[in-house]
Amino acid sequence: MKHTWWKESVIYQIYPRSFMDSNGDGIGDLKGITSRLDYLKELGIDVIWLSPVYQSPNDDNGYDISDYQAIMEEFGTMEDFDEMLAEAHKRGIRIVMDLVVNHTSDEHRWFVESRKKEDNPYHDYYIWREGKDGNQPPNNWGGSFGGSAWQYDEERGMYYLHLFSKKQPDLNWDNPAVRKEVFDMMTWWCEKGIDGFRMDVISMISKTKEMPDGEVHDLYGDPGPYCVNGPNIHTYLREMNEKVLSKYDLITVGETPGVTPELAKLYAGEDTHELNMVFQFDHVGGNGKYGKWTDEKVSLTFLKGILSKWQTELYGTAWNSLYWDNHDQPRAVSRFGNDSPKYREASAKMLATCLHMMQGTPYIYQGEELGMTNYPFQTPADFRDIESINAYKEWCESGLVSHELFWPCITNISRDNARTPVQWDDSENAGFTTGTPWIQVNPNYKEINAKAEVADPNSVFHYYRKLIALRKKYPVVVYGKYELLLPEDEELFVYTRTCEDEKLLVVCSFTEQERTIELPEEFIGAECIISNMDNSYEQKEVTLKPYEAFVLYRK
Ligand code: TEU
Ligand code: CA
C-alpha cells in the first residue's frame, strides 16, 4: 500500500459562516479564519476543508454558487482569501476547497443564459425537459429539500431538474462544454496554490438519459436509481483526473451519497485514477421514522457492523474517510455519545478514540474538538437551514405528522445543530462575533469553549491534540490492518490494528454502565498510549468506567 501525505493527515472542516466573524456583521468570514489559524496549528491538524466561500445568494448557505471564481461578499475579498491561504501554508496547513459542480445557483450567468428562449451556447448546460399532461412535471421525483425535483421556468417554457433547492439547477455533465468549464475553473484554483477538493454530491453528476417515475417513498418518487452512481460517473472522474487532478499534488475526497464499498474501490481505488477517498453515508444515512428525521439512536452493533465493513472491504485497495459529523449532520457527542453534563467530555473523548484509531483519513468538524453539542431548538423559527425549514412545512404544517411526533425527530437531526457558531470563549456570543450572530449561539458556551479547553490539559481539545500526535508517531495507526473483536457486544467497540510487528488494541465503551473485560493475552502489560480515564491496564481483567476508552500498543 502506497504511503502518502494525505493518508497520514488529519483534516479539519470549517463552515465559514459559523467559524469566526472578524467585522462584527454576525457572519463568519475569511479574516476570521486567518485569525484562528494558530489555534488550529496548536490542535495539530494538517489540512483544512473549507466549505464554499464563492459568490452565492446563500439559498443553501453557499452550496448554490453564482460565480466559482469570486469570493462571497459576506466572507470578504479574494485578497482576504489569498492572505488566508498564505498564512495557512506558512503554518504547514493545506487548504482544500469545496467543489460544488453537480449544480450551480440559478443566479449563475450560465443559468441566466440557459433559461432564455432563443437558442444559445448555454441551452444544454442544464437538464431541461417538457412537462407532461399539460402542466405536470416530467416525472414524480422529489428534491432533497422538499417538493418536486422539477421547477417550471416561465421564460423558457420548460422544466429544469434540481435535486436540491429550486435555486440549485443541476448541471448537464453529458455536455462536454460543461465539463470543460468545470475543469478550467478547477485548474484556475489549483494555479492559485490550493491543495485539493472536497467534491459535493459528486456521485450524482451523471444521470441516465431516460428519466422515468421513481419508487415513491414518503411523499415523492426516488430519483436515486437514475441520478446516483450514474452511467458515466467514472468516465467523467477519470477525465477530471487526467485533465486537472493528475497535474497537481492534491488531496481529493468525493462526497458520494449511495456509494458502496465495491463502488468506492472505483471512486477511490489505489490505481483507478479518480479520487483519493470518498465519504460514505451508511452510518449517518439511517432510515428514520419520517425520511431522514428520527429521534432514535442507532444500535452499537449496527454502527460496528457498518464501520467494520468499510474498514475490511477497502483495506489494501482503497482509502476511507473517517467522520462522525459535518455541516450536514447533528453533533457527534449528541448523536453517538452522551451530551449530559456528567458524561459529555468522557464520551466525546471516547468517540474521538474510536474514530481516530481506525484506518483512513480522520475529519474533525469545527467544534467537535471541543465536544460541542446539539442546539436546544424551541420553535421552527430557530431554524436557518432550508432543509429543516422546508421539512417542517412539508411534514408538519401539511398535517402529515403532528408537531409532537415530528419535533423530537427534526430537532435531533437538523443540520442547524452543527451550524451554530463555534464557541471560542465565555464572553458574549461565545467570542464568535461582536454583532448579532446570523444563527443563535448554543447557551452552553459558558461551559464549553475553546479558551477554557486550551487552558485545561484534561480537556476534549487536548485529547484530540494527543490523538492527532499519535497518528504521527505510530505508523500502525495509519497503515495497520483492522480486526473487530466482540462483534456481538452491544456496549463495547473493541478492535485491533496490526502492521508488521506493531499491534494496537482499541477499547471504547459506549455505555454509562461500568463494564469488565478481559484483555487478550498478548496485550497484558502492554503500553497504554492514550486513555480518557486514570485507570490501570496491567491486569488481565479491566473494569471500564462509563464511556472509558483506551489504546494499548505492543511491538
Ligand atoms: O450534501 C448532499 C447530501 O448528501 C444530502 O444528503 C445532504 O446532506 C442533505 O442533508 C439532504 O438530506 C451536500 C452538501 O454537503 C450539503 O450541505 C448541500 O446542502 C447539498 O450537497 C447540496 O449542495
Ligand atoms: Ca463577518
- C-alpha 328 to ligand 1 mean position (Å): 6
- C-alpha 391 to ligand 1 mean position (Å): 14
Taking all residues of the chain, what is their mean pLDDT, rounded to a whole number?
Answer: 97
204 has pLDDT over 70: yes
Tens digits of residue pLDDT in 39-65: 999 999 999 999 999 999 999 999 999
Q: Which ligand is nearest to the CA of 257?
A: 1
Q: Note the pLDDT of residue 134.
A: 78
- Which positions are catalytic? 200, 255
Share of the chain residues as helix, strand and coil, in percent rounded to the nearest 5? 35, 20, 50
- C-alpha 433 to ligand 2 mean position (Å): 8
Which of 328, 409, 413 most suits a substitution to test ligand 1, by most atoms within 8 Å of the C-beta?
328
- C-alpha 461 to ligand 2 mean position (Å): 25
Question: Is any atom of ligand 1 closer than 6 Å to the C-beta of 100?
Answer: yes
- C-alpha 432 to ligand 2 mean position (Å): 10
Write out the H or E segment, with its range, that includes residue 221.
strand 220-221
pLDDT, mean of residues 514-540: 97
Work out the pLDDT band at 285, boundaries 50, 70, 90: confident
Question: Is any atom of ligand 1 closer than 6 Å to the C-beta of 63?
Answer: yes
Ligand 1, atom 23, residue with closest C-alpha: 63
92 has pLDDT over 90: yes
Q: Note the pLDDT of residue 454.
A: 98
Ligand 1, atom 17, residue with closest C-alpha: 328
Tens digits of residue pLDDT in 337-388: 999 999 999 999 999 999 999 999 999 999 999 999 999 999 999 999 999 9
CB atoms within 10 A of CB 180: 12
Q: Note the pLDDT of residue 383.
A: 98
Ligand 1, atom 16, residue with closest C-alpha: 328
Q: Each residue of 362-389: b (16+ CB within 10 Å) or e?
A: bbbbbbbbbbbbbbebeebebbbbbbbb
pLDDT, mean of residues 298-327: 97
Question: How far, in Å, CA of 189 to CA of 74, rounded?
Answer: 20
Question: How far, in Å, CA of 214 to CA of 142, rounded?
Answer: 9
Q: Note the pLDDT of residue 463.
A: 98
pLDDT, mean of residues 267-279: 95
Adjacent-strand bridge partners of 508 = 493, 549
Question: Is any atom of ligand 1 closer than 6 Å to the C-beta of 330?
Answer: no
First to last CA, the chain: 21
C-alpha cell recorded at residue 509? 465503551
pLDDT above 90: percentage of residues in the chain: 97
Ligand 1, atom 6, residue with closest C-alpha: 257
Q: Which ligand is nearest to the CA of 437?
A: 2
Q: Where are the alpha helices (DSSP H) in 18-118?
A: 30-35, 37-43, 78-90, 109-114
C-alpha cell recorded at residue 437? 450572530
Question: Do 185 and 86 contact (CB within 8 A), yes or no?
Answer: no
Contacts of 236 (CB under 8 A, 6+ apart): 173, 179, 205, 206
Question: Do 539 and 517 contact (CB within 8 A), yes or no?
Answer: no
CB atoms within 10 A of CB 43: 18
Q: Note the pLDDT of residue 126.
A: 98
Q: Note the pLDDT of residue 37.
A: 98
Q: Note the pLDDT of residue 265.
A: 96
Question: Is any atom of ligand 1 closer than 6 Å to the C-beta of 257?
Answer: yes
Q: Which ligand is nearest to the CA of 204?
A: 1
Longest CA–CA span in the chain (Å) reads 79
Question: Is any atom of ligand 1 closer than 6 Å to the C-beta of 200?
Answer: yes
- C-alpha 172 to ligand 1 mean position (Å): 19
Question: How far, in Å, CA of 265 to CA of 179, rounded?
Answer: 23
Q: Note the pLDDT of residue 532.
A: 98
Question: Do 334 and 501 contact (CB within 8 A), yes or no?
Answer: no
Angle at 332 between CA 483 and CA 411, to 5 degrees: 140
Question: Do 190 and 175 contact (CB within 8 A), yes or no?
Answer: no
pLDDT above 70: percentage of residues in the chain: 100
289 has pLDDT over 90: no
- To the question of pTM greater than 0.85 for the whole model, the response is yes
Contacts of 17 (CB under 8 A, 6+ apart): 27, 28, 51, 61, 62, 74, 75, 419, 438
- In this structure, the chain runs to a length of 555
C-alpha cell recorded at residue 240? 477530471
Q: Note the pLDDT of residue 3.
A: 84
Q: Note the pLDDT of residue 156.
A: 96
Question: Is any atom of ligand 1 closer than 6 Å to the C-beta of 492?
Answer: no
Q: Note the pLDDT of residue 133.
A: 86
286 has pLDDT over 70: no
Question: Do 310 and 265 contact (CB within 8 A), yes or no?
Answer: no
Question: Is any atom of ligand 1 closer than 6 Å to the C-beta of 320?
Answer: no
C-alpha cell recorded at residue 323? 467522520
* Atom of ligand 1 minimally distant from the CA of 328: 8
Question: Is any atom of ligand 1 closer than 6 Å to the C-beta of 278?
Answer: no
233 has pLDDT over 70: yes
* Atom of ligand 1 minimally distant from the CA of 386: 19
Could you tell me the CA-to-CA distances from 501 to 59, 299, 343, 358, 554 in Å, in that order? 53, 34, 36, 18, 8
* Atom of ligand 1 minimally distant from the CA of 63: 23
Question: How far, in Å, CA of 489 to CA of 302, rounded?
Answer: 11
C-alpha cell recorded at residue 97? 476547497
Q: Note the pLDDT of residue 154.
A: 95
Question: Is any atom of ligand 1 closer than 6 Å to the C-beta of 325?
Answer: no
Work out the pLDDT band at 512, boundaries 50, 70, 90: very high
Q: Which ligand is nearest to the CA of 164?
A: 1
222 has pLDDT over 70: yes
- C-alpha 500 to ligand 2 mean position (Å): 50
Matching residue, cell 450524482: 204
> Quick one: which of 508, 509, 502 has its CA closest to 553?
502
